[in-house]
Homo-oligomer: A and B are copies of this chain.
Amino acid sequence: MTFKVRDYECDLQGIVNNANYLHYMEHTRHEFLLQKHISFAQLHEDGIDAVLHHIDITYKASLRSRDEFISQLRVTVEGYRQVFYQEILRKDDGRLCIRAKVENVCVQNGRLIIPEELNQQLLNPPAL
């Protein structure tokens, strides 16, 4: 996905505030899920809450006002966890800004579950 920094996402240093990268990455995951016909909002209405368990994020370079950037991911499943490897690259020069490993789990009625159907949808290659 390609995004563009919005000025309100920058803090008084003139760079994107660290928390906004989590927003960008979350939106990228949700759009990816939608492409797989998995709706985050629908999951919630079905009583399954996908919640983050762990994020490991390295900030390599800062984005600034008006920068365009590419947000990409790949996904694997490990036990209870859906693991997203995510990167954000500045579009202009391809510089790596963010590298992150995001681990998600699914909770239903307060308990961890392995969402078999969701996992299959996640891992299936896109239809031709």
Q: Which residues of A contact B (CB under 8 A)?
A: 6-8, 10-15, 17-20, 22-23, 26-27, 30, 34, 39-41, 44, 49, 51-59, 62, 64-66
B residues less than 8 Å from A62 (CB atoms): 51
The complex is assembled from copies of this chain, and their number is: 4
What secondary structure prevails in chain A residues at the interface with B? mixed
Instruction: Give CA–CA (A100, B102) in the complex, Å.
Output: 14
State A108–B44 Cα separation when bound (angstroms).
Answer: 21
Contacts of A44 in B (CB 8 A): 12-13
| Cβ–Cβ contact A57 & B55, under 8 A | yes
- List the B residue with the shortest CB-CB distance to A55: B57
Q: How far is the CA of A86 from the CA of B6 in the complex (A)?
A: 18
Q: 18 pairs across A/B with beta carbons < 8 Å?
A: A6-B23, A8-B17, A8-B23, A8-B26, A8-B27, A11-B11, A11-B12, A12-B44, A15-B51, A18-B22, A19-B20, A19-B23, A22-B22, A41-B65, A41-B66, A51-B62, A55-B56, A56-B56
